[in-house]
Structure 1
Amino acid sequence: MNKSLALPHMPATGVSGLDLYVNHSGRWQWLGAGRPEKFPDNEATLFSGIPAGKRAYVLYLPLYNGAIKVELGVEPGFVLEPAPVCGKPSVVWYGTSITQGGCASRPGMAASNILSRRMDQEFINLGFSGNGLMEPEMAHLLAELNPALYVLANMENLKAEQVFERATAFVEILRAAHPRTPILLVEPVRFSHAFLQPTVNYELLQKRSELRRAFETLLRNGVGNLHYAHGDALYGEDGEAAVDGVHATDLGFMRQANSLEPILRQLLENER
């Protein structure tokens, strides 16, 4: 665990906190947060005073700081049991610091966690801050998994001249191991300041162009069940979705979820 509980652009509740949701009347709703106040140990009451009854809960761990140990306690007379194991294959989401959850105010607001609650679907979040580089070794590791769907949303960490070669090689490795599993390529988000910085905007457009070229090349080469998501709707166009122009606020993550949810639902439905 890192002694720095927060980042300059991300609060301690997101970097190092816990986030608790409860399933109430068939819908996941936020219930409480474990706010980190000191290093290395913290103790917090996540909720109290609710009526007795059997309920399902999900507890999200910190988005950036590692948790060495988490202990849960309940009041006398109450019982805490593991939930049934989800029988559906997971969605594997590979990406950058944005995928990892930077810079949500709390763990439950990362886009993959929002979608997991909405879709009743387990997501494996493989966001690597600054390191979504599409190395072949990473592709082989991802290929060891057996997901319902691969989401590749890491283009922000690549240079434009790297996108075509790395994206095609990465997808080919996944497809060799999983001939039928859907793969979704996601364009990089539009940085909030790109509209007035020609160099930033040019780099973005080049990355998107190279990703589209990789997508079309793979299709021509016979790679099936490959799909493409455009990037403009991930943040919107009003400049309000990022804390620093790059990393999402809670609003940005909600917009990502809203944009990708219908695509993901359709791809999963097609496999049933």
Structure 2
Amino acid sequence: MSVQTEWRRLSVALLVWIPLFSASAQTDPVLWQWVNAESLTVAGQGWRDTQLPFDRLPARAEALVRPAVWNLSRNTAGVCIRFLSDATTLKVRWTLLNQNLAMPHMTATGVSGLDLYVNRDGRWHWLGAGRPERFPDNEATLFSGIPAGKRVYVLYLPLYNGLIKLELGVEPGFVLKPAPVCRKPPIVWYGTSITQGGCASRPGMAASNILSRRMDEEFINLGFSGHGLMEPEMAHLLAELNPALYVLANMENLKAEQVFERATAFVGVLRAAHPRTPILLVEPVRFSHAFLQPTVNRDILQKRRELRRAFETLLRNGVGDLHYVYGDALYGEDGEATVDGVHATDLGFMRQADALEPLLRGLLENSR
């Protein structure tokens, strides 16, 4: 090979290498300050003695509840991180527990993503979302280029997936610290897939999270998709908590013939542990397709009758501070509130919040 040919090959190699080197040299990676979210204010969690940092039931519950309930308790529905920051850019990285990022009728952001709100003049305003793209590790920029200034944030965790690890990142010199802890007793909401947040487009749109922002209250979301069955072990676990109010919305998961016995027994356990805590029984929603499906409609009506019978029986037996909400207002009458006739869209969750908010406010005012 001639010297001239060798020089030409070397020149081509240099032309290829130099731009790559230059681009690399121009990239000045920020040395991000990463903060473990466990060191910030964790809200919406009833127990702290959990296997993973953001599980919804205590570690010992694995030996108490059915495997399906335990697995669903690893989903982080309703759990959120509250923090203060003056950062102009915020990054997040999270490690998922389960590899199913999405469901056919529910977005990946709702199932496995993160949802950020900022407090703006005393009201919560959406700011950014972390969209999951792979399993198990994800990283996203929640916002960038905003004016510097101290603000309060809340980051909602996935509705139908669990987290092994969660970190927030800011550039050097900016603050990221815990927000003040809510000192008021929480509202405990036990129920079904609808309670858990199926099928909100993003975590902040689950009804309990909407109401938490509107009412400035902490909600503990104990929705268990398909498995909110009012079992005795769950009654005793809920009785360990010390809430301002219990909301029981389980009827969609029960058979009509189970409603009376399970509702009365469940309320009995809670009332024995908490003689003065308000308890709200929630009728099943009217499925959007029920008006043309007589069998579906009859089942809903029968569950409602059995729940009403349980409610009236408990009142006659001296159970006080027991309340009841009708189901028709929870989705509205136009059939537009669900993704599949049963599970709520964001519109459906907004309607639930609209229907429940005045009632919840009234119960809290009377009990505090």
Pairwise same-fold verdict (TM > 0.5): yes
When normalised by structure 1's length, the TM-score is: 0.99
* Aligned pair partner of 1:119 in 198, 203, 215: 215
Task: Indicate whether 1:140 and 2:226 are aligned.
Answer: no
The one-letter code sitting in structure 2 at the alignment partner of 1:164 is F
C-alpha deviation, 1:2, in angstroms: 1.7
Distance 1:271 1:185 in 2: 17
Provide the rounded CA distance (Å) in 1 between the counterparts of 2:163 and 2:120.
27
Match of 1:174 in 2: 270
2:193 is aligned to 97
1:212 maps to 2:308: yes
- The structure that is strand-richer by fraction is 2
SS of aligned partner of 2:144: coil
Shift of 1:17: 0.3
Structure-2 separation of matches of 1:160 and 1:68: 38
Bigger CA radius of gyration: 2
Q: How much has 1:223 moved relative to structure 2?
A: 0.1
Q: Distance in 2 between matches of 1:38 and 1:107?
A: 18
Write the letter of the residue equivalent to 1:218. L
Distance 2:280 2:367 in 1: 14
How big is each residue's C-alpha offset from its partner over 1:6-41, in whole Å with a ceiling of 9 and x where there is no partner? 000000010000000000111000000000011111
TM-superposed CA distance for 1:50, in Å, is: 1.0
Deviation of 1:4 (Å): 1.5
Secondary structure, counterpart of 2:137 in structure 1: coil
- The code of the aligned residue for 1:240 comes to E
For structure 2, the residue ranges without an aligned partner over 5 or more in a row are 1-96
Gaps of 5+ in 1: none
- Structure-1 residue corresponding to 2:148: 52
Cα RMSD (Å): 0.5
What secondary structure, in the 3-state scheme, does the structure 1 residue paired with 2:176 have? coil
Are 1:72 and 2:165 counterparts?
A: no
CA–CA separation in structure 1 for the residues paired with 2:205 and 2:146: 24
CA shift digits 1:38-66 (9 cap, x unpaired) = 11111100001111111110000000011
Q: Distance in 1 between matches of 2:314 and 2:100?
A: 43
Matched, 1:185 2:275: no
Give 1:76 shift: 2.2
Cα distance between partner residues in 2 of 1:18 and 1:242: 22
Structure 1 residue 229: Cα displacement: 0.4
- Corresponding residue for 1:129? 225
Give the TM-score of the pair, scaled to structure 2.
Answer: 0.73
Once residues 220 and 156 of structure 2 are traced to their aligned partners in structure 1, the CA distance between those partners, rounded to angstroms, is 13
Is 1:29 matched with 2:134?
Answer: no
Q: Provide the C-alpha distance between the structure 2 equivalents of 1:14 and 1:139, rounded to a whole number of angstroms.
A: 28
- State the distance in 2 between where 1:74 and 1:252 align: 35
Measured after TM superposition, the shift of residue 246 of structure 1 is 0.5
Identify the residue that residue 12 of structure 1 maps to in structure 2: 108
How far did residue 104 of structure 1 move? 0.2
Number of aligned residue pairs = 272
What's the CA shift string for 1:111-158, capped at 9, x where partnerless?
A: 000000000000000000110100011101100000000000010000
Partner amino acid, structure 2, of 1:266: G
